[in-house]
Amino acid sequence: MNQFQTLGQFIIEKQADFPYAKGELSRLLRDIGIAAKIVNREVNKAGLMDILGSAGSENIQGESQQKLDIFANEQFISALRSGGECAILASEENEEVIHLSKHAKYIVAIDPLDGSSNIDVNVPVGTIFSIYRKSHDGPATIADVLQQGTFQVAAGYIIYGSSTMLVYTTGCGVNGFTLDPSIGEFCLSHPNLKTPPTGTMYSINEGNYVHFPLGVKKYIKYCQVEDPGSHRPYTSRYIGSMVADLHRNLIKGGIFIYPSTASAPKGKLRLVYECNPLAFVTEQAGGRATDGLGRRILELPVMELHQRPPIFIGATEMVQQAEVFMIASL
Ligand code: AHG
Ligand code: MN
Ligand code: MN
Ligand code: MN
């Protein structure tokens, strides 16, 4: 017997929290949930379908697109187009923005499939979404997409893992919903999700160590030093899907860092559809998200669609400690 509140019931009940409570944002979140369930179905049986491996094409990022990248992208475009509540969609997989419903109020930025390198090896992947409100009456333009992260009206992610979860915020805290496949509904399983103020887990691709800024190298050594009083050495956990690394750290307490590296001199992760939405969720859960030098991710000026900043995100005290090393090493 399902005793949990479904996403739809939760949205309707919380609609009073939406300053724009005419139902459009609720329907937009519903549309995202529908596409997520379709992507989840394919992810769960990927090994049995011709949906693994590369599609033989490259995206604007210069990445080899996986078949599931394209499938997921198409599902979200289709759901948002038919839902009618999205004026413009910006996607990792598309160089330009996609114009959908001309008179709609909302803008969506999406990473349709995060962690693509993990698809073929059955490691959790995710979807990340960010929602803005059009700032004027006329047709939406690229300027509506390039809004500062603090203007997001909602943001969240879906993690296709040992269970499938949808975690999101509208600025009134963070709530997590677990998909119950027996009824095809996301059910409230993590109400008012908060992240611990500190933790003992650090997530970073240490393969790039030689190219890290000095402050990052010093912080990694700090994590590795024996100090039982502060529960160090910390545990290193990094699986190459930002959503999965972030979700684990959000629940248990930890820090995720993707700094500048030789191959990604400004950082790898994209501000508009990875860093800003995950920073919004993290801050709403009581955590911190900056560029490593104390500048909030949500306040970074957004100059272009596929812009990349360094990101230090997770437990507040851990991010602050990493910033101490970064600033001292300038
Ligand atoms: P995407 O699959 O959407 O392109 O994102 C992959 C990102 C992120 O999910 C992950 O944390 C990071 O790339 C891993 O990068 P490295 O393999 O360079 O560590
Ligand atoms: Mn990619
Ligand atoms: Mn991604
Ligand atoms: Mn992606």
ipTM score here? 0.98
Band the pLDDT of 80: cuts 50, 70, 90: very high
Q: Is 54 annotated as a binding residue?
A: no
Decide: 115 and 248 in contact? Cβ < 8 Å: no
Closest-lying ligand to the alpha carbon of 270?
Answer: 3
pLDDT in tens, 87-104: 999 999 999 999 999 999
Percent above pLDDT 90 for the chain: 80
Of the candidates 7, 4, 19, the one whose C-alpha atom is nearest the C-alpha of residue 170 is: 19
pLDDT in tens, 29-71: 999 999 999 999 998 887 777 777 778 888 877 787 888 999 9
Q: Which residues surround ligand 2, an ion (CB under 5 A)?
A: 63
Decide: 5 and 188 in contact? Cβ < 8 Å: yes
Ligand 1 atom nearest 241 alpha carbon:
9
For all residues of the chain together, what is the average pLDDT?
93
- CA dist 225 and 88 (Å) reads 48
Decide: 261 and 208 in contact? Cβ < 8 Å: yes
Q: Whose CA is nearest to atom 17 of ligand 1?
A: 240
- List alpha helices for 84-180, DSSP H: 142-145
Of the candidates 20, 267, 280, the one whose C-alpha atom is nearest the C-alpha of residue 149 is: 280
Q: Say whether pLDDT at 279 is over 60.
A: yes
User: Ligand 1: residues whose CB is within 6 Å?
Assistant: 63, 92, 111, 114-117, 205, 240-242, 268
Q: Whose CA is nearest to atom 16 of ligand 1?
A: 240
pLDDT for res 1: 43
Distance 131 CA to ligand 4 centre (A): 17
Taking residues 273-293, report their average pLDDT: 98
Distance 243 CA to ligand 3 centre (A): 8
pLDDT in tens, 219-276: 999 999 999 999 999 999 999 999 999 999 999 999 999 999 988 899 999 999 999 9
- CA dist 42 and 321 (Å) reads 41
Tell me how far the alpha carbon of residue 142 is from its chain's centroid. 21
Q: Which residues lie across from 180 on neighbouring strands? A: 185
Band the pLDDT of 124: cuts 50, 70, 90: very high
Distance 269 CA to ligand 2 centre (A): 9
Mutate to test the pocket of ligand 1, among 76, 268, 270, 308 (most ligand atoms within 8 A of CB): 268
Taking residues 290-319, report their average pLDDT: 97
pLDDT for res 99: 96
Closest-lying ligand to the alpha carbon of 157?
Answer: 3
- CA dist 127 and 164 (Å) reads 11
